[in-house]
Amino acid sequence: MENRDRIIKILAYDGRVSIICASTTTLVEKARKIHDLSPVATAALGRTLTVASMMAVNMKNEKDKLTIQIKGNGPLGGMVVVANNFPKLKGYVANPLVDLPLKNGKLDVGGALGKEGYLNIIKDIGLKDPYIGMVPLVSGEIAEDFASYFATSEQTNTAVNLGVLVDKNGVKASGGYIVTPMPDATEDDLFILENRIKEAKPLSQMLDENMSLLDIAKDLTGDEKAQVIEENIIPLYECDCSREKIEKGLISLGKEELKDIVNTQVKIETVCHFCNEKYVFTKEELENILKELK
């Protein structure tokens, strides 16, 4: 399948409103395949990957890292998504096989994740301490939960919409948008915007009709002169795990614990949560790591 995933940044109303739109069909389908996700788990992780991809492109530097942890009281358990500003993303859910009946004809993401729980956002932008923002879940439907995060932590009246369409073949369409009024947005801007977003076609329908991201932004704002600031950003699902990193993890256990492993086990096997890559270390290899620690 050709990768048509894109993210664009747009300014509307002469720069008083910022819009980020993303199409993430290929990315979310890759996540679905890696984790063998059920439809509702695909929607939950897909929405979170999509919002993360849009938040990630607003980070400044290549080394900046965004980590999203969501924990709910529903059968999905929770999930983790990590993104850099490229953006390359990876994620997993606690229970990928959750299956729930449709709710009003839609995948019941709120039922899978649960309404009780929290959304935790960690931004590591190279400062001594990372920025951490935590809010309680609102509905477990993801978009509303992130809107609550933006309102609480970043004090912006941000509109978030996320959609993942799943059919029997997998992810049919996936995407989202984030609309943020700038400090100089007027009352009129906000009023018009709020009404247009309310009356816009459902996002899933826009995605299904293959509307371009720019057309979606114009449709939401009604601003034909909306200006594209950045386009052709391609979000990718890509894990950055390596044998070297796992080895570092083993070293960080400390000498005593490693000795213990060498003495009691024939080999160790670890599986990367994000991509399911398996890493095996034999007794000899562990002994060699231990020798180098002296």
Q: Which residues bind Zn ion (CB under 5 A)?
A: 239, 241, 272, 274-275, 277
Q: Shortest approach of Zn ion to residue 221 CB, angstroms?
A: 39
Q: 29 or 223, CB closer to Zn ion? A: 29
Distance CA 68, CA 79 (A): 8
Q: Shortest approach of Zn ion to residue 280 CB, angstroms?
A: 14
Q: 239 or 268, CB closer to Zn ion? A: 239
Q: 59 or 275, CB closer to Zn ion? A: 275
How is residue 272 written in tokens? 């990367």
* Residue whose structure tokens are 């739109």: 21
Q: 146 or 237, CB closer to Zn ion? A: 237
Q: Shortest approach of Zn ion to residue 96 CB, angstroms?
A: 15
Per-residue DSSP letter, 76: T
Distance CA 55, CA 169 (A): 29
Q: 214 or 272, CB closer to Zn ion? A: 272
Largest CA-CA distance found in the chain, in angstroms, rounded: 71
Q: Shortest approach of Zn ion to residue 240 CB, angstroms?
A: 7
Q: Shortest approach of Zn ion to residue 32 CB, angstroms?
A: 16
Distance CA 120, CA 145 (A): 10
Distance CA 42, CA 263 (A): 42
Peptide bond into 87 cis (omega under 30): yes
